[in-house]
Copies of this chain bind each other. A is one copy, B any other.
Amino acid sequence: MLAECGKTKVLCTVSVQDQVPPWMYKRNAGGWLTAEYAMLPGAGQPRKPRDGRTGRPLDGRSQEIQRLIGRALRCAVDLGALPEVTLWVDCDVLQADGGTRTTAINGALVALYDALLWMEEQKQLPKWPLRGLVSAVSVGLVGGEAMIDLDYDEDSSADVDLNIVCAADGRMIEVQGAAERQPFSIEQLQSMLQLAQDGCSRVRELQQKTLGL
């Protein structure tokens, strides 16, 4: 699944491994889902060195993002309804121009849907485990005004950067907002959230179309 948003391109794949992580052994608690996120070195300017070469530990930003992706998707799935498998979600950014984390979540949800369909065909699913679609957008406050889907240049000049992840009914699963230049008020947060919820519902329609739902 190649998810695109503006010039940003993220390759999302889901692999099914017939094993749960060690801490779930023999608990009979269903399955697990884990996500990994990485940016290819040539995805942006300047080239970014690969994680893990030359003994450098994993880059903090990537780790933060992959934890977000994992939490968002685990919210979408009834893990207890899975067999004893681990779903590995890999999001690799081929080209980066703002919004890579939300694009990754949106694409990963579609890839996850496909993987679950495949498992169902293989008769591996006692019941359908997906609770509903999950979608994400990032919005920003540029010059005092809420704007959606910023590209890299707009993003750099935003005063506030807000990512939200929504469930199918529009309620929120995750909200992450950070002031880049100056603090923001509850009212400003309000207007950004409104915009973001609208954006999430538009993404949801695209996901449904892609999946033929």
A interface, CB within 8 angstroms of B: 11, 13-15, 17, 36, 38, 40-42, 46-47, 50-58, 60-61, 63-64, 66-67, 71, 75, 88, 90, 92, 94, 162, 166-167, 169, 171-179, 182-186, 189-190, 193-194, 197
Q: Is the CB of A171 within 8 A of B183?
A: yes
Q: In the bound complex, how far is the Cα of B182 from the Cα of A75, in angstroms?
A: 8
- 14 further A-B pairs in the complex, CB-CB below 8 A; given A13-B42, A175-B175, A186-B197: A13-B40, A13-B41, A40-B90, A41-B88, A51-B53, A52-B56, A53-B57, A54-B57, A60-B64, A60-B66, A63-B64, A75-B179, A75-B183, A176-B177
Counted per complex, copies of this chain come to 6
Task: Tell me whether A40 and B11 are in contact in the complex, defined as CB-CB below 8 angstroms, given that A179-B172, A183-B169 are known contacts.
Answer: yes
Of all chain B residues, the one with the shortest Cβ separation from A167 is: B183
Q: Is the CB of B58 within 8 A of A53?
A: yes
Q: Is the CB of B185 within 8 A of A46?
A: no
In the complex, the 9 A-B pairs of residues with the closest C-beta atoms, listed nearest first: A52-B52, A13-B42, A55-B55, A171-B183, A15-B47, A57-B57, A167-B183, A175-B177, A60-B63
- Can you list 24 residue pairs at the A/B interface with Cβ under 8 Å? A11-B40, A11-B94, A13-B40, A14-B42, A15-B46, A36-B41, A41-B88, A54-B56, A57-B58, A60-B66, A64-B67, A75-B179, A162-B175, A171-B182, A171-B185, A172-B184, A172-B185, A172-B186, A173-B179, A174-B177, A174-B178, A174-B179, A175-B178, A186-B193
Q: Is the CB of B167 within 8 A of A172?
A: no
Q: In the bound complex, how far is the Cα of B184 from the Cα of A36, in angstroms?
A: 26
Set B36, B41, B185: member contacting A15, Cβ < 8 A: B41
Set B47, B56, B173, B194: member contacting A55, Cβ < 8 A: B56
Set B14, B63, B178: member contacting A173, Cβ < 8 A: B178
